Every structure is written in C-alpha cells, then in structure tokens.
C-alpha cells in the first residue's frame, strides 16, 4: 500500500444520507477512504485491527453508497475496488490463479433474505440451494496442487497477489504435501483449494501462557496468533506453533468437473485435505440456512476453535458462475456474522491487584458493556509498559475485546489518534503505586516496566493467593480450599504460610464458623490425598514467579527430585530448552530464600511423596506410551486440560479429531459425531470410568 500510514480518524463522523453537494461528497469520500485504508493496513499488514469487523463493514458500506450516488468520485484506487491488504514483500509474492475474493458481511436476517432474493431473481430459480459452513476466524490460505504435489501456498494479500508462505505451510502436519490417491476420483492436474489456518482456543491459551512465562508479549487473539505464526520469515517458528487447517472450497471447480460446492468439499477429504464436514450442511432454501446460523451461534462457545459467523454459498457451480462477482466479493456467497466480540466503553477507574507472587497488576474498571453476549466490566491492563504504550487514561473510551476464552483485554484507547484534544489530554494518567495497596510495603518495578512486585514476602494478599494457587486444580488439587476458605483460615491465624495447610487439625477447622464436622473431615481428606500429587504439580503449586504449568513440567522432566532442582544453578537451568534466563533466575532466587526453604521442608515433613513420572531417565514404561486418544462429549471428573495432561504425562497423545491413527475414543456424556466416526472406523471406545481404570493401570 502506498497510502499514508498516519492514523486518520479511526471512525470518521460522516453521515452519508443528507449529503447532496459534490464538494461535501468529495470530503466525505476522502475521509472514509483514508479510514478504510488505514484499517486494511492494521488488519492485513500489522495483524492488529483497532475497530470491530462490524464497524469496518459499516465504513465500507458508507463509502460504497456514496460512490454509487456520485459515480464520478469512484477512482480505480478506491478501497472499494479491491480486496484490501498488502503483501509483505520480504516473503515473496504469488499471483493467485483465480482471484481470492472477500465476502460481503451481513448482520441480520433481513439482509440474508435480500441476498437470497437477489440470487433467486438473477437465476430465475426458486428456491436456491445453499451450503452453510462456519466462518473460521483465522488466516485465509490458498494451496495449489500440481499433479497432486503441493506447489505453492499463499495468503490472500490484495486478492490478486498474495504472500508466498509455502515453506511455512509445509510445516503444518494437517497439510498433505501430496494428495492421496482416491479410487473414485482421479487426482486433477491442478487443484486450487482455499481454506483457513487457525489455532485452537485451548492451544492459544497454552501458547500465550508459555510466552508470558518466557517474558514475551502475548497474542491478542487466536487469529493474530495464527497469522503471526504463518507470516514468518523463519519456517521453524511456524513449525513450533499448534496450527490447524480447514479447507472450505475449490477455486477451479469447473476444471475438475465438480457440479456443486457440496460435491467439491465432500471430495477433498478423499485426497487427504481436511474439511470440517461435521459443520457443513446443504440446504434446500435460505430459511433452513438461517436456522443453521442460529444453531451455530448457540454452539459457538463450545467449539474448540474461533468462528465469527456462518458462510452461505450457492451450491450449484453453474449458478455461481452465472451470478458472478461484484468488485470485491462474489454475488453467490455471503458471510452472516455473529454479534461482534469487540465493543467500546469507558474506563471508570483502575485498581491494582496483588497476586500470589506479589505481582501488582493494574485492572481497568469499565462501564459495563455487552461484548458478544457477555457483560464485561473489568479488563486487565497487564503492566505499566502496556499502559504507557497504549496511553490509556481514566475517562478514556477504549476498545475491549473478548477472544479465545481469555479474560477481556483493552485493544486501544479511542482518544484522538495522533494527538489528544485538550480535554482528552487533561485526563488522569495511570501509574502503578509506589506502595502496595494491600500492605503498604514498597513496590519495585523492573526496568522495562513490565513487572511490578510488592517486596513483602508476608503480604496478606500474597499468602491468600498463594494458598488458593497451591490448592488449585492444576496445582495440588485440594477441593474445598478456595478463596473464601483460604481467607477464613488466614484471618483466624491458622495459616500464615503454605506449610500450615498441612498441619491443620480437625479441632482447628471445627473451631471456625460455618465449618461442620463433615466438611472439616472432607477438607482433611482432600489435603491427605493431595500428598500423592506428582512433582511437576508440586513445583507449579509452589507459586514460583514465571513458573507456570509448562515450565513446571519441563523442570520435572529434567530433575528427578525436588532436591536436585533446589540445588540447580542458573547456568544449568538455562541449558534446558524452553528455559530462558529470566525463568532460570526466578527459580534460583526462589529456592535461595531461607523462608522458602523452610516452608518446603515443613511441607515435606508432612509426608509428600513427590513421585516424578515425567522424568525422562526414569526408564519405567509409561502406561499410555504411544497411544492416541480422542475425547468426545462432557467429562465429569476432568477438564479437557487436565485429561490432556494426564494422558501426556503417561506418554500418550490427545488429538481433536478421529483419524486412522486414533487408538481410543473416550466418550463423556452427550458424545458428538466423533462417536459415529469411531464406530465407522472400528476404533475402540470407552467411557470415563473405563478410561480411569485404564490410566490407573487397573486393566
Ligand atoms: S469462502 C468467495 N468459506 O472469510 C468465497 N471463507 O471474507 C470466499 N472464511 O478471510 C471465501 N471461513 O478466509 C469462505 N467457510 C468459509 C470461510 C471463509 C472463513 C474467511 C476467508 C476470508 C474471509 C472472506
């Protein structure tokens, strides 16, 4: 893009309807174009949009309407005349064999019906048959197979030319490098397939956790993470990321002899290309497609990947050809989008929370706002560096986003880009206090302003959070020791440090209010059970700064006993893959503290076993070594994260879809279609109880 990249008004205040004079129209068109170009650049080049899709579509529609009313203002370089985006030249460019179009976005049923009416009228066919699919929120790609071999992979770019991402895409396991031979259909000379590369929500979370542990910036949402992972100069980075792909169309169906889109997407899996057939459906008319959208919206949260709507496509290729394309998008397809998950609201106040490691985190208190069906009233501001970078002040209107199941975050301040007005400038800046808001001790901030910590090891906020972290599911999993209980025990003086948990007696507990005999016994039993947790969980439960679940597991893989880990030097730790200098320093500093050593010794006196099944030299055969599991339906005992960890701890693998490599499908309640797939492929199934027996080595 050659356009000016200084942010223009992000949402120009233009009311198109009343405009009558050419001069007025010209000014409005200029403003709208500047804004659209800027947002194209933010979205496609920086992977960092600052307005919602709905807002973008609105700007684009206003511009289109004005250009229709004043055709002399339509110029060949107007953003309405192309798809948007600009290839990154460093990656090399590829001409698309068939232009990669965009989709017209609509937000209500009336617009969908208008789309259908147009199709019916233009075609003289009533009703028109559609295929409906989820609209995946990832990165669009084109794969070209020549004589069955993957020759080129590219991004959409400006629709005519995209970036060459072939080496990167080749690292994605789900992309076949050569097409499988299928009995029923010969491999075409050329196959141009389109699809979406994405990162699953759970993997996005772990990826971000690991990045934070390593002191790197986290990704705002799975889409950015996927795009950032693929648009890389170094394919090794791509290879390391949990990328997946769904193919959703063939760009040259006529060459291959497909008569319908349905036929095309049914054929792709036979060649080894992944299609989400579970959610693709063919409908006789638009009303059925509209019901599909409603149903899909209901399931949105439970899907393991992000979608932002449904795509309706006219099924017959001949119909598609007759309907043709508008400048940017086909007349035969429409994106019926969901409620946006971004919204703007005002920052009322900023509070400072003190976490279990003493870390002070700023949290914005917002005017409550609905974001994609959920009310949001707080959002993390992460750290001082973020606040300064985004220049977020109290009273600012901000853009908040909810994505990938993580807590809402603030994308940016909507204060005038490039220079605040006097009123905006007078707003209070946010800075982390010098004294701890809980105990009043000094707060120290790192040089890069990314970390601030209360210096008091016995800060009450730290103890409370420490106890709940220690007892959390991912830690020692002591049920019944949540925030309220922890607070009660601390207030009563029964728990002053972690080790005190393991010294609680029945009398201690029953002396407390709201503690019946049986709940006291339950808690004591839970504490007793927790003594069997493996070493990696204990390391995590200690609450060492920067040591999350992934790092704890890595440490347990490398150190057989806690004692060995406690004696490790920074140099030694840094030699481990995945452990950077910051983490190494944090670990050594933690174990150097006399106070911490004493706490650990006391906990160990309580009789913890700390077995270490993860240690690589342990040599003993793992129960699930080499086995691949798929889970379907709701599990009672475990979250998906836990079950994945359990399987992995024992040498197995968990995958999201059933394939020829799946050894077992484990069914929870209401198992989905994967159960059918398992039966079809004659894969063994088991229920949760059977799985448990299996894991515990009882069968
Ligand atoms: S069909 C001409 N199908 O939406 C038809 N696109 O604006 C063009 N997208 O970034 C695309 N899921 O990657 C189609 N099931 C789906 C899709 C889908 C997501 C994305 C696509 C592109 C955008 C089109």
Label residues 240-270 b or e (16+ Cβ within 10 Å = b).
ebbbbbbbbbbbbbeebebebbbbbbebbee
142 touches ligand 1 (CB under 6 Å): no
281-295, 305-319, 595-609: segment of lowest average pLDDT: 595-609
Nearest Cα neighbor of 49 from 424, 406, 403 is 403
Which ligand 1 atom minimizes the distance to the CA of 139?
A: 13
Beta 653-654 vs 628-632: how paired, if at all?
parallel
Which domains are assigned to the chain? 105-337 (3.30.470.30), 342-416 (2.40.50.140), 460-611 (1.10.150.20), 628-698 (3.40.50.10190)
Determine the distance separating the centroid of ligand 1 and the alpha carbon of 219, expressed in angstroms. Answer: 22
pLDDT digit string, tens, across residues 640-660 = 888 888 888 777 888 888 888
By the 10 Å C-beta count (0-12 exposed, 13-18 middle, 19+ buried), 275 is classed as buried
Residues 6+ apart with CB under 8 A from 672: 278, 632, 633
Which ligand 1 atom minimizes the distance to the CA of 156?
A: 10
Determine the distance separating the centroid of ligand 1 and the alpha carbon of 194, expressed in angstroms. Answer: 8
Give the mutation target among 53, 54, 103, 138 for probing the ligand 1 site: most ligand atoms within 8 A of CB. 103
Q: Is the pLDDT of residue 618 over 50?
A: no
Q: Is the pLDDT of residue 235 over 90?
A: no
* Residue with more model confidence, 13 or 619: 13
What's the confidence (pLDDT) of residue 411?
87
What's the confidence (pLDDT) of residue 694?
78
Determine the distance separating the centroid of ligand 1 and the alpha carbon of 136, expressed in angstroms. Answer: 7
Determine the distance separating the centroid of ligand 1 and the alpha carbon of 333, expressed in angstroms. Answer: 9
Residues 6+ apart with CB under 8 A from 642: 473, 474
Determine the distance separating the centroid of ligand 1 and the alpha carbon of 195, expressed in angstroms. Answer: 7
Q: Are 328 and 102 in contact (CB under 8 A)?
A: yes
Percentage of the chain modeled with pLDDT above 70? 93
Residue 486 token pair = 């922890």
Instruction: Write down the mean pLDDT value for the chain.
Output: 87
Determine the distance separating the centroid of ligand 1 and the alpha carbon of 410, expressed in angstroms. Answer: 27
What's the confidence (pLDDT) of residue 621?
55
Helix (H, G, I), strand (E, B) or coil at 287: helix
Which ligand 1 atom minimizes the distance to the CA of 101?
A: 2
Which stretches does DSSP call E strand in 200-357?
A: 243-250, 281-283, 307-314, 333-337, 342-354
* Residue with more model confidence, 699 or 191: 191
What's the confidence (pLDDT) of residue 77?
67
What's the confidence (pLDDT) of residue 5?
43
Given pLDDT bands bounded at 50, 70 and 90, which one contains residue 550? confident
Q: Which of 135, 359, 644, 674 is catalytic?
A: 135
What's the confidence (pLDDT) of residue 328?
79
Pick from 223-232, 256-265, 594-603 the range whose average pLDDT is largest: 256-265
Q: Average pLDDT, stretch 382-405?
A: 88
* Residue with more model confidence, 638 or 331: 331
Q: Average pLDDT, stretch 325-343?
A: 89
Determine the distance separating the centroid of ligand 1 and the alpha carbon of 140, expressed in angstroms. Answer: 7
136 touches ligand 1 (CB under 6 Å): yes
Q: Is the pLDDT of residue 560 over 50?
A: yes
What's the confidence (pLDDT) of residue 307?
94
Q: Is the pLDDT of residue 420 over 60?
A: yes
* CA 590/CA 546 separation, integer angstroms: 11
Give the mutation target among 49, 153, 195, 248 for probing the ligand 1 site: most ligand atoms within 8 A of CB. 248
102 touches ligand 1 (CB under 6 Å): yes
What's the confidence (pLDDT) of residue 16?
87
203 touches ligand 1 (CB under 6 Å): no
Given pLDDT bands bounded at 50, 70 and 90, which one contains residue 337? very high
Report CA dihedral (575, 579, 581, 586) to the nearest 10 degrees.
-120
Which ligand 1 atom minimizes the distance to the CA of 102?
A: 7
307 touches ligand 1 (CB under 6 Å): no
Residue closest via CA to ligand 1's atom 22 equals 140
* CA 504/CA 447 separation, integer angstroms: 41
Segment holding 277, helix H or strand E: none
Residues 6+ apart with CB under 8 A from 45: 1, 85, 86, 88
Which ligand 1 atom minimizes the distance to the CA of 141?
A: 13
Q: Are 186 and 271 in contact (CB under 8 A)?
A: no
pTM: 0.58
* CA 643/CA 515 separation, integer angstroms: 32
Determine the distance separating the centroid of ligand 1 and the alpha carbon of 177, expressed in angstroms. Answer: 23
By the 10 Å C-beta count (0-12 exposed, 13-18 middle, 19+ buried), 145 is classed as buried
Q: Is the pLDDT of residue 322 over 60?
A: yes
Given pLDDT bands bounded at 50, 70 and 90, which one contains residue 4? very low
19-28, 98-107, 229-238, 250-259: segment of lowest average pLDDT: 229-238
* CA 338/CA 334 separation, integer angstroms: 13
* Residue with more model confidence, 690 or 542: 542
Range list of H helices, 413-548: 422-425, 460-471, 483-491, 506-510, 517-530, 535-541
* CA 178/CA 224 separation, integer angstroms: 28
Q: Is the pLDDT of residue 49 over 90?
A: no
Determine the distance separating the centroid of ligand 1 and the alpha carbon of 223, expressed in angstroms. Answer: 14
* CA 367 to each of CA 242, 364, 398, 432: distance values in angstroms, whole numbers, following the listed order: 36, 10, 10, 21
Q: Average pLDDT, stretch 553-576?
A: 93
* CA 534/CA 613 separation, integer angstroms: 7
Active site residue 135: yes
Segment holding 26, helix H or strand E: helix 22-40
135 touches ligand 1 (CB under 6 Å): yes
What's the confidence (pLDDT) of residue 83?
44
* CA 101 to each of CA 87, 128, 135, 191: distance values in angstroms, whole numbers, following the listed order: 15, 22, 14, 17
Q: Average pLDDT, stretch 25-39?
A: 88
227 touches ligand 1 (CB under 6 Å): no
333 touches ligand 1 (CB under 6 Å): yes
The radius of gyration computed from the CA coordinates of the chain, to the nearest angstrom, equals: 28
Nearest Cα neighbor of 477 from 408, 555, 415, 536 is 536
Residue closest via CA to ligand 1's atom 13 equals 140
Which ligand 1 atom minimizes the distance to the CA of 332?
A: 2
98-107, 371-380, 470-479: segment of lowest average pLDDT: 371-380
User: 3-state secondary structure string, 42-92?
Assistant: HHHHCCCCCCCHHHHHHHHHHHHHHHHHCHHHCCCCCHHHCCCCCCCHHHC
Give the mutation target among 136, 192, 245, 281 for probing the ligand 1 site: most ligand atoms within 8 A of CB. 136
Which ligand 1 atom minimizes the distance to the CA of 140?
A: 13
What's the confidence (pLDDT) of residue 249?
97
Residue closest via CA to ligand 1's atom 18 equals 135
330 touches ligand 1 (CB under 6 Å): yes
Q: Average pLDDT, stretch 568-594?
A: 89
Q: Average pLDDT, stretch 539-560?
A: 90
């Amino acid at each position: 893009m050659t356009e000016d990249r200084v942010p223009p008004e992000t949402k120009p205040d233009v009311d198109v309807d009343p405009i009558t004079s050419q001069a007025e129209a010209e000014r409005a068109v200029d403003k709208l174009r500047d804004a659209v170009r800027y947002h194209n650049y933010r979205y496609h080049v920086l992977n960092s949009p600052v307005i919602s899709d709905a807002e973008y579509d609105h700007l684009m529609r206003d511009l289109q309407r004005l250009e229709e009313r004043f055709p002399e203002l339509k110029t060949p370089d107007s953003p309405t005349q192309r798809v948007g985006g600009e290839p990154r030249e460093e990656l090399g460019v590829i001409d698309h064999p068939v232009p990669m179009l965009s989709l017209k976005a609509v937000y209500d049923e009336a617009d969908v019906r208008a789309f259908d009416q147009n199709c019916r009228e233009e075609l003289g066919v009533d009703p028109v048959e559609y295929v409906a699919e989820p609209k995946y929120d990832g990165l669009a790609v084109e794969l070209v197979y020549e004589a069955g071999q993957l020759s080129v992979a590219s991004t959409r770019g400006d629709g005519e030319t995209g970036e060459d991402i072939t080496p990167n895409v080749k690292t994605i396991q789900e992309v076949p490098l050569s097409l499988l031979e299928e009995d029923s259909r010969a491999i075409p000379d050329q196959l141009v397939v389109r699809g979406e590369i994405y990162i699953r929500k759970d993997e996005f979370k772990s990826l971000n956790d690991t990045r934070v542990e390593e002191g790197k910036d986290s990704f705002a949402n799975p889409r950015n993470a996927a795009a950032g992972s693929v648009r890389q100069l170094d394919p090794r980075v791509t290879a390391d990321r949990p990328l997946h792909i769904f193919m959703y169309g063939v760009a040259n169906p006529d060459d291959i002899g497909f008569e319908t889109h349905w036929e095309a997407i049914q054929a792709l899996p036979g060649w080894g290309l992944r299609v989400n057939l579970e959610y693709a459906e063919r409908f006789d008319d638009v009303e059925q497609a509209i019901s599909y959208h409603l149903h899909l919206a209901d399931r949105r949260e439970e899907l393991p990947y992000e979608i932002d709507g449904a795509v309706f496509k006219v099924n017959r290729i001949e119909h598609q050809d007759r309907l043709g394309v508008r400048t940017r998008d086909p007349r035969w397809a429409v994106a019926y989008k969901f409620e946006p998950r971004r919204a703007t609201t005002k920052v009322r106040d900023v509070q400072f929370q003190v976490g279990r490691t003493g870390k002070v985190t700023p949290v914005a208190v917002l005017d409550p706002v609905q974001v994609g069906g959920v009310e949001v009233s707080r959002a993390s501001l992460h750290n001082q560096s973020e606040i300064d970078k985004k220049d977020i002040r109290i009273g600012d209107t901000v853009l908040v986003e909810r994505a990938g199941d993580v807590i809402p975050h603030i994308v940016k301040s909507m204060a005038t880009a490039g220079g605040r007005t006097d009123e905006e400038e007078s707003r209070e800046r946010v800075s982390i206090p010098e004294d701890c808001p809980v105990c009043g001790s000094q707060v120290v901030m790192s040089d890069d302003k990314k970390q601030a910590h209360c210096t008091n090891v016995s800060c009450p906020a730290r103890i409370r959070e420490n106890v709940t972290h220690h007892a959390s599911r991912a830690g020692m999993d002591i049920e019944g020791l949540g925030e309220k209980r922890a607070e009660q025990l601390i207030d009563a003086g029964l728990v002053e440090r972690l080790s005190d948990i393991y010294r609680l007696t029945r009398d201690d507990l029953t002396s407390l209010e709201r503690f019946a005999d049986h709940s006291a016994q339950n808690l004591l039993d839970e504490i007793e059970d927790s003594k069997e947790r493996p070493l990696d969980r204990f390391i995590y439960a200690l609450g060492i700064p920067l040591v999350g679940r992934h790092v704890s597991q890595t440490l347990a893989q490398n150190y057989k006993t806690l004692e060995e880990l406690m004696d490790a030097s920074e140099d030694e730790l840094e030699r481990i893959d995945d452990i950077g200098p910051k983490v190494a320093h944090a670990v050594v500093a933690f174990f150097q503290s006399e106070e911490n050593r004493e706490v650990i010794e006391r906990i160990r006196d309580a009789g913890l076993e700390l077995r270490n099944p993860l240690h690589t030299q342990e040599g003993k055969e793992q129960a699930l070594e080499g086995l691949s599991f798929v889970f379907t339906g709701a599990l009672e005992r475990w979250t998906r994260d836990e079950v994945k960890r359990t399987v992995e701890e024992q040498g197995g693998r968990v995958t999201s879809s059933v394939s020829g490599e799946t050894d077992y499908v484990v069914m929870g309640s209401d198992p989905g279609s994967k159960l059918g797939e398992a039966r079809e492929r004659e894969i063994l199934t088991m229920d949760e109880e059977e799985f448990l027996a299996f894991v515990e080595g009882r069968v």
